[in-house]
Amino acid sequence: FCTAVASVRAQVQQEPWLETTEGTGIRINCSHPTKQRDDYIHFYRQLPGRSPEFLTLTIRASKNLLDIAGQLSVSEDGRSSALYLARPRRGDAAVYYCALGD
C-alpha cells in the first residue's frame, strides 16, 4: 500500500513519497512557511486514473475528516499542517496534494 504526495505551489513542501501498510496510520506533512494570514490550506487527493478530489480546507483550525477517517491538524503558527489517515485502506492509495490559496 503506497501513498504518494506532491506539492502544488512553490511555497508548499511535502515529502515526495510515503508508504504504509493497510490499517497502519500515516501522517502526510505539509510545510508552508510563506503562508499569509488569509491563505487557506487546501488538501486534495488523486486516485489512480481519476481527477483530483477535494478533501478539505482551513485557515488555521484543525478538523476531523469523517469521510476518510482522517484528521487535518495545523501548527499554532500556521506554517505547517498534516493530514493524518488513521486506518488507510488500499482504496486510499493516491497522490495527496497540499496547496495554499484563496
Residue 2: inside a domain: no
Per-residue pLDDT at 9: 46
The number of folded domains in the chain is: 1
pLDDT at 83: 92
DSSP label at residue 44: E
Question: CATH number, domain at 61?
Answer: 2.60.40.10
The pTM (predicted TM-score) of the whole model is 0.80
Look at residue 12 in the predicted model and tell me its pLDDT.
77
User: Residue 1 domain-assigned?
Assistant: no
Structural domain of 26: 13-101
Residues of the chain with confidence (pLDDT) below 50? 1-2, 6-10
The predicted pLDDT at position 10 comes to: 45
Give, for 4, the enclosing helix (H) or strand (E): strand 2-7
Task: Write down the pLDDT at residue 38.
Answer: 85
Q: Does residue 4 form part of some domain?
A: no
pLDDT at residue number 77: 87
Rounded to whole angstroms, the Cα distance separating 53 from 10 reads 21
Residue 69 lies inside a defined structural domain of this protein? yes
CB atoms within 10 A of CB 88: 22
